[in-house]
Structure 1
Amino acid sequence: MSDDAVGPAETDDVLGPGWVARTLPLRPDALSRRGAPDPVATLVHRRPDDAAAPAGTPATPPSADLAPPRPRTAVLYLHGFVDYFFHPHVADALARAGYDLWALDLRDYGRSIRPGRPANEITDLATYTEEIDTAVRLLRGSHDRLVVLAHSTGGLTAALWAHARRGRGLVDALVLNSPWLELRGTTFERTVLTGAIDVVGRVAPRLVVSRTARHYGEALHAATGGPWDYDLAWKPHTFEARAGFVRAVRRGHARVARGLAVDCPVLVLASDAAGPDDRWHDALLTTDSVLDPAQIAARAPLLGPDVTFVQVPGGAHDLALSPAPARERYLDEVLRFLEERLGDA
């Protein structure tokens, strides 16, 4: 893959030595036409010579004439709402099995946030098609196969994208980690309130209609006693949800409810239990305290004709950030599915 093929050259990434990022310029949008910077996305990767070697691989002296073979299968990671990629342990597990992970920070998220552009906002999930298509085109040009691995709102976005791109042979497998396929809440919130949001989100998309609960983030982050360290400017404990965003998500939910036709094998994974999402409790990291796993299980079969659903006992909302042994169980299930469906990496 040449620099010309992927846009600007790689720069050192915030994840540290070996990690690099490429900024992907995107088309001007309504915000940039009003004077804001043009949107960008960011593709994050670890240099091949810094990736974890597959288990059992003997050490080989470096050679100027022999570059390491590029893995045949690329895995494209998509994050959730108010989120970004900070999961090198997932890249390690995939690399040991022979997979090449690339992560995409979508426009206005994480590494792609730019001054003058509101962070973490969208009014139509299909807008992300541009950067997903760009990343997929680049990775398909250098790998034989492509897997999309997506979390939460990214899981909903990925499913809708894969449905819209069906029949093109772009993706060989879709893996969804706690995808947001339905609104957690009361029947009133899923019906009457959704109808109201559909109107409000169209006429006043920037109206704040709710905030995410802070308890899950506080349980995750090292500064508040959690096991993970990440940039709180890019993934704060709580963040406002605006009407345009909620409307876009609820329209995505409605599309899933009508049934999709994703034409590659799909693996959907979720915790085995829901925890309260409105208060602190001891099981914040051993239950899904953001979404309802029962809703995920019910909606998963609607994604396409070949869907596998797996529960991960003791899993957190982001299964990759669960405590052991749930985290290892999650990664093992992903690798088992890919081996069964794709064969050798």
Structure 2
Amino acid sequence: MERDVLGEGYEVVTLPLGALPAGAGPGGDNVAHLVRHRADKAVNGAVLYVHGFTDYFFQKHVAEHFAALGYDFYAVDLRAYGRSLQPGQLPNFVTDLGYHFEEMDAAARVIRDEHGHRRLTVMGHSTGGLIAIMWAHERRDDNVLDALVLNSPWVDLAENWFLRTVGTWAVDLLGRVSPTAVVQKGLESPYGLSLHRDNNGEWEFNTDWKPTAGFPVRAGWLRTIRRNQARLHRGLDVRVPVLLLRSSHSLLKTKDWSPEAMRADTVLDVAHMAKWASKIGPQVTVVAIEGGMHDLFLSTPAVRERALADIDSWLAGLHQRDRIVE
């Protein structure tokens, strides 16, 4: 592994990926990148973080939190995201979320087979949460995963009934005949303006990889999102324990920034997360975080500390249970 852009204590390795069918992905050479921040003693195994849409891994405070608790921390930048975005590629674009299982599988092989970890917890945010759910369902017989933590997962479209139904049918057709057609130019919420320190936030990140206005949403990508959400709504069989964290409330349909945007999910409807949680599998715990933003880990200090503490307590309970079983 080589030194990562995050600096001292962070390593990265390139994961070569197979070619996708013409028009099904971002184009060019597809690679992923796996970042690692090591614990002094990885007594609790490994955590693998999966980012959301218009996103990549930069949250050093999260890596350092879990490393301090005895987890080797990993994060994957999926193909055409962040470190993995190649010149000339369509950012963040695939026509099938299942293509991302290749990145998940490759990361898990490195963590388990090459680095020797016996326990793996996957942690997915937003779109990364949906990808992690679907991957965990598809790999449910492979014993590759021990626990799943979801940070505001994208389990439904944050729109009215008409757009969730008729709009979805239209996107399904457009995504089939013209997958790269742009259906939304970027992020239509004040969320991006709530993050970067040059705006109203406290975070420093590469705005070429994570523009505050977001990347264009393309029909083929939204089509596979909606199809996977529909599969989730019919019920999945994720067999490992799942912790779903969400904000206490949403603030939707506002494009202008306000202080209230720093205390709510301005991207997704948290009621959807509560509604569909039970469809993930038989062992799902849902926790609402008062005053949380869409990415709970980027919320104000007290809020993100609460979210991390709830994860710590939940994981500690799993470890204790496993020790009793053993």
- Above 0.5 in TM-score? yes
Which TM-score bucket, shorter chain as reference?
over 0.9
Identity %: 45
Aligned to 1:157: 131
Distance 1:206 1:79 in 2: 22
Shift of 1:285: 1.8
> Structure 2 length normalisation: TM-score?
0.93
Residues 209 and 241 in structure 1, CA contact (< 8 A), matched pair in contact too: yes
Question: Structure 1 CA distance, aligned partners of 2:125 and 2:181?
Answer: 26
Alignment of 1:82 onto 2:57: no
CA contact (8 A) 1:71 1:143 kept: no
After superposition, the C-alpha distances for 1:159-207 in whole angstroms (9 at most, x for unaligned) are 0010011122110000000000000001000000100110110110010
Higher-Rg structure is 1
Question: 1:231 and 2:203 equivalent?
Answer: no
| Partner in structure 2 of residue 170 of structure 1 | 144
RMSD: 1.9
* Counterpart residue number, 2:232: 256
Q: Secondary structure at the match of 1:171?
A: coil
Matched-pair contact (CA < 8 Å) for 2:137–2:236: yes
CA contact (8 A) 1:29 1:38 kept: no
In structure 2, give the amino acid aligned to 1:233: D
Conservation of the 8 A alpha-carbon contact between 2:24 and 2:94:
no
Aligned partner letter, 2:281: G
Query: Is the CA contact 1:181–1:296 (under 8 Å) kept in the aligned structure 2?
Result: yes
Aligned length: 317
Q: How far apart are the structure 2 equivalents of 1:177 and 1:162? A: 15
Distance 1:255 1:147 in 2: 23
**How far did residue 93 of structure 1 move?**
1.2
Structure 1 residue 324: Cα displacement: 2.3
2:86 corresponds to 1:132: no
Q: 1:36 to 1:260 in 2, by over 3 A?
A: closer
1:181 aligns with 2:119: no
The 1-side partners of 2:125 and 2:107 are apart by 17
In the other structure, the counterpart of 2:34 is 43
Asked whether the equivalents of residues 190 and 254 of structure 2 are also in contact (C-alpha less than 8 Å), the reply is yes
Alignment partner, residue 87 of structure 2:
115
| Deviation of the 1:248 alpha carbon | 0.7
- Following the alignment from structure 1 to structure 2, what is the Cα–Cα distance between the partners of residues 300 and 229? 32
Alpha-carbon separation, structure 2, partners of 1:143 and 1:215: 40
Aligned residue identity for 1:229:
E
Equivalent AA in structure 2 for residue 81 of structure 1: F
**Unmatched 5+ residue regions in structure 1?**
1-9, 52-67
Q: Which residue is 2:222 aligned to?
A: 246
